[in-house]
């Protein structure tokens, strides 16, 4: 009875997640244009098959084949458009590609026509250096083909065990820092959408079992509740010491000096984590709790909107109205809907509706919207204000970190 209950519960969680992701993908595809729609549907085709007529083809031996992937009707038609009557061999060997996921603002309200499509391609750990070099070359060729169609796309090859065991990335000279792993994994768990391949195991593990994650996962496999080769296990979100939060803030300030919008958002988010320490609830955990309870919150778990909500609560609590206004301006620019320009009601898309509700709640008037939409110098002014705020944050957190280290 317990086994059947667990299987049923996991099935329900997967249904909820699929519904939320389908909602996010469909609403984005409805406004982003036919070329983007085509490339989105082709991404699994690029990695599942190896054929001279498929973009990204490399003559050398290249790993291909995605676990648990079968093209749907639309993808199959696109495949036929590429190869015509040519013979196509389906991969019959062990599938080296574990799964393909979008990452970041993709399929969120933060995605606009200038956004990059960031794709994580998880692969088996046993691939050798030559396999990865050829696979990376394939990614580069696909990227150039997409760029020729005015679609910005980036592929990141990820060892499926890099988060659990801190494996060395083939294209990096050193291991990814284990603390940085947690922050990166938090972002992946709360923003990613599965395009093809295995499901993420962490999503179906109850938050109450996080403290004994490995033991609980082993029991699911040993009891026959889950089949191991059907899941991508990136590990759990390990506890972080307070000083590591401040180190990450300083790292983000130095790393993203040329991207102040992103810096301000990420740093403020990490600060919000610090505020609740030692009872920090990472956004990914917050999202998972609602998923398990059946609450499909914030427009289908829109990660950008969820982050805005957390930052709003945090900056309101600490009464930092300057940064709160800058965060809202960053969000407005990222969504990229010029609200001062009036359009027909029938042309109001889902992003515009959400943004209209937000600016009304914020109390922004028509004059402010006009300034934001039309005055380029005001945008430069905001960037200068953001950089000034980041400097204050750096000084404040540097002093705190020195205090903890002493």
Look-up: residue for tokens 């026959």? 224
Q: How far apart, in whole angstroms, are the C-alpha atoms of residue 52 and residue 56?
A: 8
Q: How far apart, in whole angstroms, are the C-alpha atoms of residue 136 and residue 366?
A: 48
For residues 340 and 373, the answer to whether their CB atoms sit within 8 Å is yes
pLDDT(124) > 50: yes
Q: pLDDT per residue over 273-319, tens digit each?
A: 998 998 999 999 999 999 999 998 888 999 999 999 999 999 999 99
Instruction: Tell me what percent of the residues of the chain surpass a pLDDT of 70.
Output: 94
Q: How far apart, in whole angstroms, are the C-alpha atoms of residue 380 and residue 400?
A: 30
User: For all residues of the chain together, what is the average pLDDT?
Assistant: 89
Is 0.85 surpassed by the pTM of this model?
yes
The packing angle between helices 376-405 and 366-374, to 10°, is: 90
Angle at 248 between CA 242 and CA 250, to 5 degrees: 110
pLDDT(169) > 50: no
The H or E element containing residue 121 is strand 117-123
- pLDDT bin (cut points 50, 70, 90) of residue 369 is very high
Task: Please state whether 78 falls in left (phi above 0), alpha (psi between -120 and 50) or beta.
Answer: alpha
Q: How many CB atoms lie within 10 A of CB 70?
A: 11
Task: Give the HSE-up count for residue 11: Cα atoms under 13 Å, Cβ half-sphere.
Answer: 7
Instruction: Count the helices and strands in the chain (H runs, E runs).
Output: 16, 6
Task: Give the HSE-up count for residue 274: Cα atoms under 13 Å, Cβ half-sphere.
Answer: 19
């Amino acid at each position: 009875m317990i086994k059947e209950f667990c299987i049923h519960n996991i099935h329900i969680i997967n249904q909820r997640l699929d519904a939320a992701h389908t909602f996010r993908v469909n609403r984005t595809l409805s406004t982003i244009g036919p070329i983007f729609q085509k490339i989105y549907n082709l991404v699994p085709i690029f990695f599942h098959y190896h054929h001279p007529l498929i973009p990204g083809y490399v003559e050398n031996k290249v790993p291909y084949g995605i676990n648990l992937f079968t093209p749907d009707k639309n993808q199959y038609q696109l495949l036929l458009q590429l190869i015509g009557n040519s013979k196509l061999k389906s991969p019959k060997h062990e599938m080296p590609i574990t799964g393909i996921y979008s990452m970041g603002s993709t399929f969120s309200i933060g995605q606009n026509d200038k956004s990059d499509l960031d794709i994580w391609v998880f692969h088996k750990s046993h691939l050798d250096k030559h396999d990865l070099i050829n696979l990376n070359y394939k990614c580069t060729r696909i990227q150039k083909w997409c760029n020729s169609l005015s679609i910005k796309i980036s592929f990141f090859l990820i060892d499926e065990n890099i988060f659990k065991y801190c494996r060395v990335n083939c294209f990096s000279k050193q291991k990814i820092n284990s603390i940085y792993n947690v922050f990166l994994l938090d972002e992946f768990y709360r923003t990613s959408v599965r395009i093809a391949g295995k499901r993420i195991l962490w999503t179906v593990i109850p938050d109450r079992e996080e403290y004994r994650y490995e033991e609980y996962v082993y029991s699911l496999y040993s009891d026959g509740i889950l089949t191991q080769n059907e899941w991508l296990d990136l590990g759990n979100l390990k506890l972080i010491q307070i000083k590591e939060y401040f180190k990450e803030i300083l790292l983000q300030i130095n790393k993203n000096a040329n991207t102040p919008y992103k810096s301000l958002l990420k740093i403020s988010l990490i600060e919000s984590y610090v505020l609740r320490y030692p009872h920090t609830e990472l956004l990914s955990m917050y999202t998972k709790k609602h998923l398990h309870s059946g609450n499909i919150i914030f427009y289908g778990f829109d990660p950008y909107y969820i982050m805005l909500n957390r930052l709003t609560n945090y900056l309101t609590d600490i009464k930092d109205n300057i940064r709160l206004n800058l965060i809202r301006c960053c969000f407005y620019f990222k969504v990229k809907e010029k609200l001062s320009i009036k359009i027909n009601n029938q042309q109001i898309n889902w992003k515009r509706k959400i943004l209209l509700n937000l600016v009304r709640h914020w109390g922004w008037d028509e004059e402010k919207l006009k300034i934001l939409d039309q005055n380029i110098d005001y945008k430069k002014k905001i960037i200068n204000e953001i950089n000034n705020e980041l400097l204050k944050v750096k000084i404040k957190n540097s002093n705190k970190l020195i205090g903890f280290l002493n």
